[in-house]
Amino acid sequence: MFKQLETFCAVYETRNFSHAAEQLFISQPTVSTQIKQLEADLQTTLFTRNGRQEIVPTASGQLLYQQAQKLLTTWAATKTAVRSPRQLVKVPCRIGASHTTGSLILPALLAELSTASDRFDFQVTLANSAEILTAMSQHKLDFGLVEKPLVTDHLNRLAFGHDELVHAGDFNSPLWLLREPNSGVCHYTNAFLKARNIQPEQVMVIHSNQMIADLLARGTGQTIISRHVLAPTIPVEALSSHYQRQFFLLTNHHPAAALRPVQATITQYLTTWSNG
């Protein structure tokens, strides 16, 4: 049953039987067979086809996905506990952060959480805001730190602190250092370029604030970036209040009881950080 649920989740997330098979290192017929067996056991249809390749989850499939994530998480924790009955089993705690919050907030926050590392197995992921939201929605993360006001129907969103974006670097350089399209800063960069009627002659897309900041420190290119990640020697142009954005903590509506102490510590730290 758990193998079928794992296969079902892979199909749900990829919307494609072949891609799910590649992800799970099994054959496509095996994927199809497991989904058919699961549908027979549940006496319902989990997917409908939309065209030749893409499949669409039914209402039953959407409900099963939400429950399957919880079941698989519980099963993984149960296997760990059974295999190591004499050892203290740590509670997995998965934290995701955008690149800006990862460099600005996460180090001190993790230092605060490190006192509980004897009880919790902390796993940290850095990605852009949209990817953090997706991982949270798929129950692949327990907490998310982002700087983009994303739509979060299935998650709680706590606003804290502010970030100031600035125009930085060599203002005469033809090279613009840009973040990827789904990053939190991309919208502001496009707005700035449009307002200034700038069409960059050269661009370099980089998936890391820190790498962009390092290039600016070497005198390479210009960009829109958080003031917090810049060295004091980098030339900066302050922008209007439209380029100030808020940070957000994403949490699940029904967090695991074992993670409540971690959530309390994170919330308290972020509140203190905002007021500091």
Averages of pLDDT over each 10 residues, the chain, 276 residues:
87 87 89 91 88 80 87 78 65 90 89 92 90 86 84 80 92 94 83 93 91 95 92 94 88 85 93 77
Three-class DSSP category at 183: coil
State residue 208's pLDDT score.
Answer: 86
Which residue matches tokens 């054959």? 27
Helix axes 2-14, 59-83, angle to 10 degrees: 130
Report which of 152, 52, 144 is spatially closest to residue 96, judged by C-alpha positions.
144
Specify the pairing of strand 236-237 against strand 202-205.
unpaired
Q: In one letter, which amino acid is 12? A: Y
State residue 203's pLDDT score.
Answer: 95
